């Protein structure tokens, strides 16, 4: 299967999920990791990929303002009802380093890595990040080939086949295949 490129970044969620559904018919994939802020993409993915290990990764609580969780409670309920798991935790490629940048106006290695990954698109950076987060949480196995779905802003526009790794073994993570991503971002 050739990589599919969307002309522009943005919400291509339904098309991405359809492409991934076709891809997994040919590959032995047990785990799908999906970035979802409000849960809208998470509900769709958890419905389409029922029976697989589906992990929906949200923004950490307090990401946009203290004590606020962006995941809609009704969407969270539907995701759980569909048999998926929800992971809410600190972002693997920012966390405390973002606080240091804001306070001391400097940049440290994690944000350098994040910005380098953005050269391939925001969705690529997020797909790699959520794979690390899900692996660190024990929701997927290190060494397992997983599909990570993410996007730019809202919705999905990127899907990658990734060999999962924990954060402390970051350089063992391998992007095996770019399934789809935006051409212009």
**CATH code for the domain in which residue 12 is found:** 3.40.1380.20
64, part of any domain: no
Report the SS3 class of residue 155.
Answer: coil
Whole-structure pTM value: 0.95
- DSSP summary character for residue 168: G
What whole-number distance in Å separates Cα of residue 174 and Cα of residue 185?
A: 22
- How many helical (H) and strand (E) elements, i.e. helices and strands, does the chain have? 6, 7
Helix intervals (H) in 1-121: 13-26, 40-48, 73-81, 96-104, 109-117
Q: Which residues form the domain of 145?
A: 4-59+69-184
Spatial contact of 159 and 33, defined as CB atoms under 8 Å apart? no
Residues of the chain above pLDDT 70, percent: 100
156-183 pLDDT tens trace: 999 999 999 999 999 999 999 999 999 9
13, part of any domain: yes
Spatial contact of 71 and 86, defined as CB atoms under 8 Å apart? yes
Compute the average pLDDT of residues 60-65.
90
14, part of any domain: yes
Total structural domains in the chain?
Answer: 1
Compute the average pLDDT of residues 23-43.
96
125, part of any domain: yes
Compute the average pLDDT of residues 2-21.
96
């Amino acid at each position: 299967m050739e990589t599919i490129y969307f002309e522009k970044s943005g919400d291509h969620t339904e098309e991405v999920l359809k492409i991934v559904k076709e891809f997994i018919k040919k590959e032995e994939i047990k785990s799908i990791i999906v970035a979802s802020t409000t849960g809208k993409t998470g509900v769709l993915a958890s419905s389409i990929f029922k029976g697989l290990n589906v992990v929906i990764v949200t923004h950490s609580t307090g990401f946009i303002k203290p004590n606020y969780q962006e995941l809609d409670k009704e969407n969270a309920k539907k995701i759980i009802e569909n048999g998926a798991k929800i992971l809410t935790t600190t972002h693997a490629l920012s966390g405390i380093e973002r606080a240091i940048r804001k306070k001391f106006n400097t940049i440290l290695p994690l944000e350098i890595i994040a910005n380098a990954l953005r050269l391939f698109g925001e969705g690529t950076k997020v797909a790699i990040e959520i794979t690390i987060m899900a692996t660190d949480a024990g929701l997927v196995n290190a060494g397992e080939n997983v599909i990570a779905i993410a996007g730019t802003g809202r919705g999905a526009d990127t899907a990658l086949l990734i060999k999962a790794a924990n954060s402390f073994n970051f350089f063992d993570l391998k992007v095996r295949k770019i399934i789809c991503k935006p051409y212009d971002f």
